[in-house]
Amino acid sequence: MHVPSRLSSTFQAHEKAVEIKVKTEHDFNLEKQLLVHNAKVKIQEEYVQKEKEREVQDRIKHSSMIGESRVRKMRARDDLLNKLRDNTLEELGLIASRPDYKDLLKDLIVQSLIKIEEETVEVSTIYYSLLTVVCDE
């Protein structure tokens, strides 16, 4: 059977067109897969980066909370020390007005001197206390 050349050319052109179409679809699908893969990789990288940023923010927040807690504790401690100092000064003022203050001062000085076990010492005091101890003897 003899196929006219014109028909043969058309058939060959059609085969070539199908071949080109198949190749084009194949290339398109490969390119599409590559784009989808690259997009997935980019999304995963962005996710990893955001997760790292979130972890850093969590650490910063945790550190800030610890710092704030320490500041609160220091302020509370400072308040307690100030109250203790004020109460002590008030009580010392009351002790100085008691009649046995002179004996208390002498006993404290003697006890201190015994405790430090030094041959020579220098005692510093306020003038009123010195008069109390020295002048009454």
**DSSP for residue 99:** T
Packing angle between helix 101-116 and helix 5-96, nearest 10 degrees? 120
Listed by start position, the domains of the chain span: 99-137
User: How far separated are the first and last CA of the chain, in Å rounded?
Assistant: 153
Q: Mind listing the pLDDT tens digit for each residue in 33-62? A: 999 999 999 999 999 999 999 999 999 999
Q: Mind listing the pLDDT tens digit for each residue in 5-36? A: 677 788 888 899 999 999 999 999 999 999 99
Q: Mind listing the pLDDT tens digit for each residue in 69-111? A: 999 999 999 999 999 999 998 988 888 788 888 888 888 888 9
- pLDDT value for 106: 83
CB atoms within 10 A of CB 129: 15
Q: Which residue has the higher pLDDT, 125 or 127?
A: 125
